[in-house]
Chain A
Amino acid sequence: MTLAQTQPQALEFDCDTGNYHTFCPISCVAWLYQKIEDSFFLVIGTKTCGYFLQNAMGVMIFAEPRYAMAELEEADISAQLNDYEELKRLCEGIKRDRNPSVIVWIGTCTTEIIKMDLEGLAPKLEQEIGIPIVVARANGLDYAFTQGEDTVLAAMAHRCPTADQVTSAEEKAERNSIQKLLSFGRKKEDVAAEESEYHDHPPLVLFGSVPDPIVTQITLELKKQGIRVDGWLPAKRYTELPVIDEGYYVAGINPFLSRTATTLMRRRKCKLIGAPFPIGPDGTRAWVEKICSVFGIEPQGLEEREAKIWESVEDYLEIIRGKSVYFMGDNLLEISLARFLTRCGMTVQEIGIPYMDKRYQAAELALLEKTCNEMGAPLPKITEKPDNYNQLQRIQELCPDLVITGMAHANPLEARGISTKWSVEFTFAQIHGFTNARDILELVTRPLRRNDSLKDLGWEKLVKEEAKV
């Protein structure tokens, strides 16, 4: 501690060339169309985009997905065809076949470059066909992977109604589906009685797309503190988007939602609760505590709850304690995961991250720093826009016990005797809240447990020459 006191360590930030592998942000349609059940996602792009989606989504697309490509042809590029007429033809088809409550247009690199005015065309067409059209420019020129969700949610934030817009009782009930969910099947009086258990606090809306079980778990977690979740962006259905009025409080559940946060603050005049993200029991506790503190509520039993979770995952912690981990960076969950793994006793060698919003992630960064200091772990270097080639050189030098990386590098690294965990799994697994700490550790320890089962076989390195990258 003496060293830390004389020279307060600070996180070191670096920015490299941006030559790294990640998924195109249009991949967000894969989970968002499943989340928003009455939506239809139309990706306006080329064969390149379609090919990516088709392959990245694997089997999902056989299940009649509510997404399609509006594939641009040469005549669209050279403006021989009228964009409006073309989009109208396609959207009418979609309306006829699927009758969605919203069509989300995903703008791509090509629509950016040819400057197709999707934001201008959408309101006109919306009027004409009578289905809301939301435009999100989730392209590879500007964003990486999970940021795609951010662009969609930021666009959706504009569509959330205000209280005056929701007048009918029916609609009010619909927009309040989370409460409905929790009080399902119970008597009115009980529900009313329960209402009184909530503290009197200003409305709170959470944002970030997570699977429904997580919505329930997190909502209940806050309920334990007497905090009512008034809505969630996105909701299960587009027609259930929450009411957002000026002065509402909002809190993000994922680290990649900075545009959504900005939109909610600037355009909807909401107050953002800046907190670490509820990933890992430490993060979840810090997140709940922060919300409590904003509302002036004394948190109840959180410390015990966290301790219990840690206790229950001790078998996994034994496996990773003292091991090193290296994040190549591709999905923006890296800071939160690194913070959690540091608390688990791992040493983080580097945190690669596509994009670092120091303001939106401020509380998370502070918690990372605090965690490192408390655990006596060195502060990791955070590399924004990493360069995969340079990283592979560093990985060879450092020989981390675990590299968290994309599928492009996973097999080649494994062949060189370096254990890897495929990063994309963290975006699809359930990792939020107290309950799912075990799931994260299940993922993180899997390669190490595999190593354990295969140890003594003597074939860790399976390439002939020394690792050439």
Chain B
Amino acid sequence: MKLAYWMYAGPAHIGTLRIASSFKNVHAIMHAPLGDDYFNVMRSMLERERDFTPVTASIVDRNVLARGSQEKVVDNIVRKDSEEHPDLIVLTPTCTSSILQEDLENFVQRASLDAKGDVMLADVNHYRVNELQAADRTLQQIVQFYIEKARKQGTLPEGKTEKPSVNIIGLTTLGFHNIHDNRELRTLMANLGIEVNMVMPDGASVHQIKDMGRAWFNLVPYREVGPATAEYLNTELGMPCVDIAPMGIVDTARCIRAIQAVLNQQGAEVDYEAFIDEQTRFVSQAAWFSRSIDCQNLTGKKAVVFGDNTHAAAITRVLAREMGIHVVLAGTYCQYDADWFKDQVSEYCDEVLISDDNGAIGDRIAQLEPAAIFGTQMERHVGKRLDIPCGVIAAPIHIQNFPVGYRPFMGYEGANQIVDLVYNSFTLGMEDHLLEIFGGHDTKDVITKTMSADADLGWSHDGLAELQKIPGFVRGKVKRNTEKFARDQGIDQITAEVLYAAKEAVGA
């Protein structure tokens, strides 16, 4: 038993449901007690879905406990099949079914006899895998199911598309900014002259799966969902895969170069260098930002990064490599894939933290006192408590992380978005700079308050004149700091000299 307040990755069935509900016309039936269909609420609320979430439950209640599900699961599958004619019904086990040990596979087989659509059992065990692993596995399972089916029926198409083409694998419902990444990646592919054969699974139909092999390669932008499918397609159909997340300017270029290599191996003869150069230097603002004075002011500032593998690794590299920010700690909650993470970030940060214990992460942040945090909603709340700004870069997320406006994290527009996020998260540049000069970090104090508590301190004429030169929004702070300094030093008349001595003392 483990005492837990917060969890980063959800239970396995959430992963399966995310995959099933990403497809068009796929229905998931959970084998679960009443109340476990909370997924529908999340999808309907967070994604602000207009359609009914294609997830229902075959309810496990007292009767089921006593006598087994018997016909119930089969009936529910057949009923859903006739009501909505889904192409595929995915029977989804939950923590409850994991311990009931009913022969769900058998139910699926029996239901397939009567159902017009396909039926399958998601191969996920609540106690062995989490949401992300389950999503990866379920997607692979569905793809495998339809590739094998097509092969048996002899409908697996031969050959590749005429022009270079790609399958983008791993975009799902409830994924962090997946909707926007989807659009950005399509734009990027279009700019590279690559046809998008299909995006899988978001918005795809299972009938398309058999045509996956027509693409020249697979692009797997996220580390968490998609690799298993890409690997399967590689073994089965010999499809190469590019699995570099195009996040940040450098990694986007790396990703494009990897695509170039994969296409050229197949005789495409493409050269993307000019495109990369043009985008990097003139279209995207991110490279220019890194040269600008704003970013210079961020040099060496301390940041902590925490999230899923994809985002935490990419953001760590963007901060360290592209903005000169000092990443004191980079961490992930994807414990099952920790080696990959360490490998990705080790040279870009002081310390790597692999944990899914929110308390441990909060404590470490408190000890490190970074100037900004880039994490999940949980780190945002740690930040609130510690008065450290936080930019949210990964799930778990709230409704405000499902913006209506266009906010990709990937590609060149994604790089722009990351710049804004990072820059806004640190205390605003020039303001911070000035505060730095006059020795204070606290911008929350009331600035209009000009009278100090102690009346025995006097300001000389030149002292006041000097004070007036300081920009209004930090003047109050400087005044208080100087007065404090004067009091400590036993000075009762503050001159310009004292003001600057105070500044030096704080700066020292």
B405 at the interface (CB under 8 A from A): no
Pairwise interchain contact B37-A21, C-beta atoms closer than 8 A:
yes
8 A Cβ contacts from B32-63 to A: 32-38, 40-42, 44-45, 48-53, 56-57, 59-62
Residue in chain B with minimal CB distance to A75: B1
- From B2, B6, B38, B57, A19 is in contact (CB under 8 Å) with B57
Pairwise interchain contact B1-A110, C-beta atoms closer than 8 A:
no
Neighbouring B residues of A462 by C-beta, 8 Å: 50
B94 at the interface (CB under 8 A from A): yes
Query: Which segment, of A170-178, A263-271, A407-415, faces chain B?
Result: A407-415
Complex Cα gap A175–B269 (Å)? 85
Pairwise interchain contact B52-A90, C-beta atoms closer than 8 A:
no
Number of A-B contacts (CB under 8 A): 161
- From B33, B34, B56, B396, A389 is in contact (CB under 8 Å) with B56
Interface size class, chain B: 35 or more
Pairwise interchain contact A110-B3, C-beta atoms closer than 8 A:
no
Residue in chain B with minimal CB distance to A90: B3
Neighbouring A residues of B60 by C-beta, 8 Å: 109, 141
B406 at the interface (CB under 8 A from A): no
Neighbouring B residues of A141 by C-beta, 8 Å: 33-34, 60-62, 65
Pairwise interchain contact B35-A47, C-beta atoms closer than 8 A:
no
Pairwise interchain contact A48-B126, C-beta atoms closer than 8 A:
yes
Complex Cα gap A248–B403 (Å)? 56
Pairwise interchain contact B127-A73, C-beta atoms closer than 8 A:
yes
- With A68-B5, A93-B3, A144-B35 known as contacts, the answer to whether A110 contacts B398 (CB < 8 A) is no
Query: Which segment, of B95-103, B327-335, B386-394, B458-466, faces chain A?
Result: B95-103
8 A Cβ contacts from B56-95 to A: 56-57, 59-62, 65, 76, 83-84, 94-95
Query: Which segment, of B10-18, B276-284, B410-418, faces chain A?
Result: B10-18
Complex Cα gap A44–B3 (Å)? 9
Complex Cα gap A56–B41 (Å)? 9
Neighbouring B residues of A20 by C-beta, 8 Å: 34
Pairwise interchain contact B36-A48, C-beta atoms closer than 8 A:
yes
B4 at the interface (CB under 8 A from A): yes
Neighbouring A residues of B61 by C-beta, 8 Å: 18, 141-142
Complex Cα gap A25–B38 (Å)? 12
- With A407-B41, A412-B52 known as contacts, the answer to whether A69 contacts B35 (CB < 8 A) is no
Neighbouring A residues of B62 by C-beta, 8 Å: 141-142
Neighbouring A residues of B53 by C-beta, 8 Å: 408, 412
Residue in chain B with minimal CB distance to A51: B10
Neighbouring B residues of A100 by C-beta, 8 Å: none
A196 at the interface (CB under 8 A from B): no
Pairwise interchain contact B13-A48, C-beta atoms closer than 8 A:
yes
- From A52, A86, A411, B38 is in contact (CB under 8 Å) with A52
The winner among A18, A24, A93, A109 for most chain B CB atoms within 10 A is A109
B182 to chain A, nearest CB (A): 20
B268 at the interface (CB under 8 A from A): no
Neighbouring A residues of B126 by C-beta, 8 Å: 46-48
- From B11, B33, B45, A51 is in contact (CB under 8 Å) with B11
Question: Can you list 17 pairs linking A and B with CB atoms under 8 Å apart?
Answer: A18-B61, A19-B56, A19-B76, A25-B35, A46-B95, A50-B4, A70-B2, A77-B99, A90-B3, A110-B99, A113-B96, A141-B61, A388-B56, A410-B44, A412-B52, A415-B50, A468-B51
Which A residues are closer than 8 A to B by beta carbons? 18-26, 44, 46-48, 50-52, 54-56, 58, 61-62, 65, 67-74, 76-77, 81, 86-87, 89-90, 93-94, 109-110, 112-114, 139-142, 144-145, 388-389, 392, 406-412, 415, 462-463, 468-469
